[in-house]
Amino acid sequence: MRASLRRLWGMIRKESLQILRDPSSISIAFIMPVVLLLLFGYGVSLDAKNIPLGIVIEQPDTAAQSLAGAFDRSEFFHPQRFAAIQEAQQALIERRIDGILWLRNDFSSRLLSGDEAPIGVFVNGVDSNQANITKGYIQGTWLAWLQHFSAARGRALDLPVSMEQRVWFNPALSSHLFLVPGLIAIIMTMIGSLLTAMVVAREWERGTMEALMVTPLRMGEMLIGKLIPYFMLGMGGMLLSVAMALFLFNVPLLSPIWLLMLCSALFMLVSLAIGLLISIVTRNQFLAGQVALVVSFLPSFLLSGFLFDIHSMPGWVQTITYLVPARYFVAILQTLFLAGPVWPVVLANAGAMLFMLLILATLVVKKSYKRLD
């Protein structure tokens, strides 16, 4: 037992020195999270503001001006006036504006005569999500103006049913509050799977793995000794990311930090096991990098619920997402940060990660008996 611990300690020390002396590993663990968080935190946003909107008023009178004024004052729009609809449509075609609000010359007369006065609205639908958001903001501004307009003329707006919404956990609906916690999963995947896969594959490629095999070190000791330094590296990157999320992006953390650490440690182990497994199977840096990219980084980006809602994917894609560990961790992260420790969510997802970890660990041990081929 004591001899085993001594061998393990020697292995950990060797691996740690190797990491410390190779600036590229340190930079991946600490510089990459900072760069990625800044990049994603500022670069990925679904909150539209200052949408360039063309407004065409064919007959400028009080009613038309007041409606256009409501759009001028809205923080969501950056309106521009066009003299004729053709000019505005040309601007829409040339991508100078994202939408058009068209008040025809009979707008006011129909409005005053109690007839339904139509407003033509065109949006560029290429980015469908943005177009939906723009549509929503236009409807919102229009409803607010209607209320104001009716009140000014001494009668309440007749809307049979109105929506009274309460948004839990993120009342302002700002997208960085859900994107930044999810990012932690992506960054840890990169450190755990990509870095580990490539570094260990390099040892196979260079033959230093074989040098280790002739030592009295047992396979289990070798694996644990390899993993512990990378585990520490990954947790360091994770703490850095959490600190940035809290203090730079002002995301609230409504759960105790130990719970977050515990779940992160579990996810880190799963990522490390995947990285190790990839390196053992490929034994080649180029291939390990490619495989890690395809099986761990891209799925954790697109299939984890980090950006796209899993519930809306086709059934067979949803089935695939159950194989993506980041799926469970993203659900935990979004809940722990924004909603607090909701135990059923935390336990179910942590249980799934634990199950994956057991399977992966078994595979790693099976695949990695000492052998030379």
Partner 1 sequence: MNFLHIFALARKEFLALMRDKRSRIIIIVPPILQLFIFGFAATYDLNDVPVAVYNEDSGGASREMLARIEGSPHFSVLHEISNDDEIAPLIDNRKVLLVIRLDQRFSANLQRGDPAPLQLIIDGRNSNTAMTALNYLRDVVLDFNREWQREHGQTGPPVKLEMRAWYNENLQSQWFIVPGIVGSLMLVVTLLVTTLSVAREREQGTFDQLLVTPLRPVEILIGKAIPGIVIGLLEATLIILLMVWFFDIPLRGSIPALYLGILLFLVATVGVGLMISSICVTQQQAILGAFLFIVPAVILSGFTTPIANMPEVVQWLTYLDPLRYFLVIVRGVTLEGDGFALLLHQFWPMAIIGAVTLVLAAWLFRHRMS
Site for partner 1 in 271-310 (CB under 8 A): 284-287, 289-290, 293-294, 298, 302-303, 305, 307-309
If the CB atoms of residues 259 and 302 are measured against partner 1, the closer one turns out to be 302
- Strands ordered across the beta sheet of 51-57: 77-82, 51-57, 99-103
Q: Which span sits near partner 1 by CB under 8 A: 7-15, 239-247, 338-346, 359-367?
A: 338-346
Q: Is 332 exposed, middle or buried (0-12, 13-18, 19+ CB in 10 A)?
A: buried
The answer to whether 301 and 223 have CB atoms below 8 angstroms apart is no
If the CB atoms of residues 8 and 280 are measured against partner 1, the closer one turns out to be 280
Closest contact distance (angstroms) between CB of 223 and partner 1 is 21
Q: Which of residues 52-71 bind partner 1 (CB under 8 A)?
A: 52, 67
Query: Is residue 88 part of the contact set for partner 1 (CB under 8 A)?
Result: no
Query: Is residue 335 part of the contact set for partner 1 (CB under 8 A)?
Result: yes
Nearest residue to 117 via CA among 52, 51, 59, 53: 59
Query: Is residue 313 part of the contact set for partner 1 (CB under 8 A)?
Result: yes
Q: Which of residues 107-166 bind partner 1 (CB under 8 A)?
A: 111, 114, 116-133, 135-136, 138-139, 142, 146, 149-150, 157-166
Which one of residues 5, 39, 211, 323 is an interface residue with partner 1 (CB under 8 A)? 39
If the CB atoms of residues 155 and 371 are measured against partner 1, the closer one turns out to be 155
Query: Is residue 317 part of the contact set for partner 1 (CB under 8 A)?
Result: yes
If the CB atoms of residues 130 and 219 are measured against partner 1, the closer one turns out to be 130
How many residues bind to partner 1 according to rule CB under 8 A? 103
If the CB atoms of residues 269 and 276 are measured against partner 1, the closer one turns out to be 276
What is the token pair recorded at 342?
């909701």
Nearest residue to 187 via CA among 87, 373, 362, 38: 38
Bridge partners for 101 per DSSP: 55, 121
If the CB atoms of residues 139 and 215 are measured against partner 1, the closer one turns out to be 139
Closest contact distance (angstroms) between CB of 2 and partner 1 is 37
Tell me the three state secondary structure of residue 7.
helix
Which one of residues 1, 152, 167, 372 is an interface residue with partner 1 (CB under 8 A)? 167
Which one of residues 1, 3, 344, 373 is an interface residue with partner 1 (CB under 8 A)? 344
- Contacts of 317-322 with C-beta under 8 Å, sequence gap 24+, read 322/352
| Site pattern 173..192 for partner 1 (x: CB under 8 A) | xxx-xx--------------
Nearest residue to 106 via CA among 64, 71, 76: 64
Q: Which span sits near partner 1 by CB under 8 A: 2-10, 13-21, 247-255, 317-325?
A: 317-325
If the CB atoms of residues 204 and 219 are measured against partner 1, the closer one turns out to be 204
CA 253 to each of CA 105, 185, 230, 260, 333: distance values in angstroms, whole numbers, following the listed order: 53, 16, 26, 9, 10
CA 180 to each of CA 174, 175, 249, 254, 314: distance values in angstroms, whole numbers, following the listed order: 11, 9, 8, 15, 26
If the CB atoms of residues 22 and 210 are measured against partner 1, the closer one turns out to be 22
If the CB atoms of residues 8 and 178 are measured against partner 1, the closer one turns out to be 178
The answer to whether 309 and 129 have CB atoms below 8 angstroms apart is no
CA 208, 213, 219, 222: dihedral to nearest 10 degrees?
Answer: -40
Which one of residues 21, 94, 216, 371 is an interface residue with partner 1 (CB under 8 A)? 94
If you compute the radius of gyration of the chain from its CA atoms, what whole number of angstroms results? 28
Q: What residues have CB less than 8 Å from 71, skipping those under 6 apart?
A: 53, 55, 77, 79, 101, 141
Which one of residues 5, 47, 59, 60 is an interface residue with partner 1 (CB under 8 A)? 47
